[in-house]
Amino acid sequence: TLDFCKFAKQSKKLSFEKLVFDAIATKSNLNHTCPYTHDIIVNNLVFNDNFLQSLPLPQGEYMIQMLFGSDNIWRVQVDIVILIEE
C-alpha cells in the first residue's frame, strides 16, 4: 500500500514506485499537489523496453498490479505484465 499524496510530496530517491510514477506523470494530468478533486487522465502511456533498465532484475515474467482508490473505495485496477529476456 502506498499513500500517493505522501509519496508524491516526498519521492526523491530512485525506487520502483518512483519509476512508475515518473512514467505516468509524463502522460497524465498529475501536475499538481494533492488533493486531487477531479478525474485523473492518463493518455497514450507506453512502457518502453528500457523502462526497468535501472533496476537489476533477473530474467523472468513480472506483473505490476496497481489499485487506485478514493473515499475508501477501490476505483481502478491496472495490471501490467513484463517479460524480461536476455
Domain holding 14, by residue range, is: 4-84
CB contact set of 59 (below 8 Å; sequence gap of 6+)? 84, 85, 86
pLDDT single digits (tens) 5-39: 777 777 677 677 788 788 888 888 877 777 777 78
Using alpha carbons, select from 38, 52, 41 the residue that is nearest to residue 84.
52
pLDDT of 48 above 80: no
Q: How many folded domains does the chain comprise?
A: 1
Q: What are the start-end ranges of the E strands in 1-86?
A: 60-70, 73-84
Q: Which band of pLDDT confidence, cut at 50, 70 and 90, is reported for residue 80?
A: confident
pLDDT of 85 above 90: no
Is the alpha carbon torsion for 29, 34, 36, 42 positive or negative? positive
Q: What integer pLDDT is reported at residue 29 of this predicted model?
A: 85
Q: What integer pLDDT is reported at residue 64 of this predicted model?
A: 83
